[in-house]
Amino acid sequence: MKIAILYICTGKYNIFWKDFYLSCEKYFITDIEKEYFVFTDADIIDFEENKNIHKIYQNDLGWPDNTLMRYEMFLKQKELILKTDYTFFFNANALFIKMISKDEFLPDDTERFTAAIHPGFYKYSIDKFPYERNSGSLAFINFDDGHYYFQGAINGGLTKDFVQALELMNSNIKTDKENGIVAIWHDESHWNKFLSDKPYIKKLSSSYIYPENLDLPFEKIILMRDKNKYGGHNNLRGEKLKFKGVVVKIIKKIIKKIIN
């Protein structure tokens, strides 16, 4: 039996990889072999020589495509992923801090997918959930269709079923983009849409996506590290650098016109 771990660390997000891998090996279902599919533009990553790590070159697509197009990234490794029994994606800043058994995390005989309740909406009613409300989007959810709001930081399940989900969500995202639509919470919106009519879900509490910077009434099992400690979302996405580059180009053009 094998578990595929899908992990994206393009741009500055590669700073999270080392601790993610070490903590995952130490705490996450240690009695089942794991294979890591690491999508990165880094020249070198820690432990890349290990046999259970597949380093896959991935261009930094910028925001929001680094998250929105993750399903397309994963499907490029479809043949290898299908050789495993279970497949799970984790956000780059995830850190395992307590032992996790297969019984508590893997879908059982009546389930196919694993999803985690969003820590920001665990105590709210459905009408407060940030579902995609644009009926033109394939991620659209009616108020009557949803039951839970899941965070995109963890998604997965039985490999065969999850790959089918990846194919459907990727197709829907592409269709939306062709129609000039981007769902409000990107891939997370499409994940919630996909699960909205599925009864066979292993529902994890917010213990498994516990934000480091919050105090919630849950046990801390998987910590989502505070990105502000690493320069914040914009810095990690490289948005400041891109803006700086644009400013530099504009200044150069102005100088060139003055000189000429």
Catalytic center residues: 188
Helices (H), 32-100: 65-68, 70-75, 78-81
Q: Which contacts (CB < 8 Å, 24+ apart) does range 76-84 have?
A: 77/37, 78/163, 80/4, 80/37, 80/54, 81/4, 81/6, 81/37, 81/159, 81/163, 82/159, 82/160, 82/163, 83/2, 84/2, 84/3, 84/4, 84/35, 84/159
Residue 19 structure tokens: 């601790």
Closest CA to 89 of 147, 193, 8, 197: 8
Of 78, 254, 37, 236, residue with least CA distance to 163: 78
First and final C-alpha spacing in the chain: 68
- Calpha distance 53→200 (Å, rounded): 30
Give the pairing type, strands 86-90 and 53-57. Answer: unpaired
Task: Tell me which residue of 136, 153, 140, 149 sits closest to 221, measured CA to CA.
Answer: 153
Residue with tokens 């066979």: 200
